[in-house]
Amino acid sequence: MLSTTGYGWATLRGFHGSTTASDVLGNTSSEDGAVDILLVGSDSRTDAQGNPLPQEVLDELGAGEADGSRTDTMMLVRIPDGAQRASILTFPRDLQVTAPDGSTEKLTDLTTLVGNATKAKLQKQGVTDPKELDKQSKAAGQKALVQKINEIAGAHIDHFAEVNLLGFSEVTKAIDGVEVCLNHPVHDPMSGANFPAGRQTLQGGQALAFVRQRHGLINELNRGDRQKAFMASLAHKVLSSGTLANPAKLNSLIGAIQRSIVLDPGLADDILGFAQRMQGAAGGDIEFQTIPVHWKGPSGNEVPTYVQSETQQFSADLLLPPAERAKKQQEESRQKQLRAKTSVSVFNASGVSGLAGNVLEQLSGSGFTAGGSSNAQDMPNSLVYYAPGDEEVAKQAAQLLGGLPTKPSQNLKAGQLEVYLGKDYQGPGAHKFGGPDTVRLDALPIGPQVAPLPTQQTDNDRGVNINAGDVPCVD
């Protein structure tokens, strides 16, 4: 983006020399059809060089004391090879993930947990230098986050960039604020967010409060929508000629980046090359999405979870050309409608108690209408029966259950399926009898349209779809 002006080109020549670099990727080059960059917003109370922020700066930012450094925002930028467009995939900070030690933790806590464990190990080995302990423990936490995001999204992260609280504030000041829009007025003493409804321009501590507010929102995805809308508006402003053609603003922006952003060495060495690859991207060619989220737990205390096969497919679809993705979306919508019109009954012929009900829950969670479950005479093999003409929807159910065979039946009416679970059944639900997570066959609709958030949480939710072409209003 900065290379679109001669001034930006000249300024970027010396960019790497004053940018903090952290090698958290190692030698992991891969040609997978895209350039993937993990953008992390950290709540660290230090600058990019590890120096503690002055108290007056913390007061301005409304940031109190915190134990460790957590990843407050995580966004995966996916840039298809040869394309002048990008998709930015966001991850809820409270997403439940498996840590390296096998425990279930929030994604936001992963870097701190791994960092603290690494620090303790180094201290046992005799390392005493505080800066060296901090450097190595942070790098270990960042590496763990990179590996986890790769796992969730099925991506191969090529570059890493982290910005702290100070950097976020200074970048917004450098471009004279970022325009946002709220559907309702906001007053949250915890974060310092105190804004009227409608459009307004925020910078510094106010901008930070806008994206960090948690209290008073429906759920974590509301917070993610705030962040997506803010980043879209910021991208739109930075891409505009008003920023790139103004030497003073450009110099101030680059200075803010240099003081507060940590890059991997590959990106730091080739920031100009990256800028050239993104040279043609207009605001509307950057879209913001959130991974499909499933809510789990008792009402009022739900936590966001994910299904890995679903998130990986959703992430892969972001690399498709817009026309091809729209065509695939239409086909998935058609298949979803077929499932909704189809009633499925499940018969347990395996001898395993409770299997039929559990599998029926899997099917109904994927959009089929639940027809009932019961026991049947033992059978060695599983089978899906369908009415003549319903082979397509029967194959959808069979695929969901691990690739079961299908067979037409004259005893069924159109829109009816019967699933018989034999002793050979090893598909979803066979080893899990405690309220399993639902598995989705379809990716959720993708597009630039902005729709209002639901008033209640749904099992599969991604918040608002946003692109960088305008300033969307959010809650």
pLDDT at residue 405, rounded to an integer: 95
pLDDT in tens, 302-316: 888 988 888 998 999
Q: Which range, 57-61, 255-259, 456-460, is most confident?
A: 255-259
Amino acid at 446: I
pLDDT at residue 12, rounded to an integer: 53
Using DSSP's 3-state secondary structure scheme, residue 253 falls into helix
pLDDT in tens, 434-472: 333 333 333 333 233 223 333 334 445 555 555 555 677
Q: Is the pLDDT reported for residue 342 higher than 90? A: yes
pLDDT at residue 242, rounded to an integer: 66
pLDDT at residue 462, rounded to an integer: 54
Looking at per-residue confidence, does 253 or 4 come out higher? Answer: 253
DSSP 52: B
Looking at per-residue confidence, does 250 or 60 come out higher? Answer: 250
> Fold match between 2-318+446-474 and 338-421?
no
**What's the pLDDT band for 43 if we cut at 50, 70, 90?**
low
**What's the pLDDT band for 410 if we cut at 50, 70, 90?**
very high
Residues 6+ apart with CB under 8 A from 76: 36, 37, 38, 39, 88, 89, 90, 91, 149, 153, 155, 157, 315
Tokens of 18: 């004053």
Looking at per-residue confidence, does 128 or 448 come out higher? Answer: 128
User: Can you tell me the distance from the alpha carbon of 140 to that of 117, in angstroms, rounded to the nearest whole number?
Assistant: 9
pLDDT in tens, 70-117: 567 888 989 887 777 888 898 988 899 999 999 999 999 999 999 999
Looking at per-residue confidence, does 278 or 336 come out higher? Answer: 336
Q: How many CA atoms lie within 13 A of 205 on its CB side?
A: 13
Q: Is the pLDDT reported for residue 320 higher than 80? A: yes
Domain boundaries, the chain: 2-318+446-474, 338-421
Instruction: Pick the closest to residue 382 from 424, 442, 432, 335 (CA basis).
Output: 424
Q: Is the pLDDT reported for residue 127 higher than 50? A: yes
Instruction: Pick the closest to residue 444 from 435, 430, 436, 454 (CA basis).
Output: 454
For domain 338-421, is the CATH number 3.40.30.10? no
Give the residue-averaged pLDDT of 362-374: 90
Q: How many CA atoms lie within 13 A of 81 on its CB side?
A: 6
pLDDT at residue 296, rounded to an integer: 84
Q: What are the strands of the beta sheet with 86-91, ordered from one edge?
A: 20-21, 261-263, 159-163, 34-42, 71-80, 86-91, 286-290, 466-467
Give the residue-averaged pLDDT of 142-161: 91
pLDDT in tens, 183-204: 888 888 777 788 899 899 988 8
> What's the CATH fold of domain 2-318+446-474?
Aminopeptidase (3.40.630)
Tokens of 327: 């065509």
- Supply the mean pLDDT for the chain: 77
Q: Is the pLDDT reported for residue 153 higher than 90? A: yes
Q: The whole model's pTM is what?
A: 0.69
User: Can you tell me the distance from the alpha carbon of 194 to that of 198, in angstroms, rounded to the nearest whole number?
Assistant: 13
Q: Is the pLDDT reported for residue 271 higher than 90? A: no
- CB 94, CB 303: distance < 8 Å: yes
Looking at per-residue confidence, does 417 or 54 come out higher? Answer: 417
- The enclosing H or E element of 386 equals strand 383-386
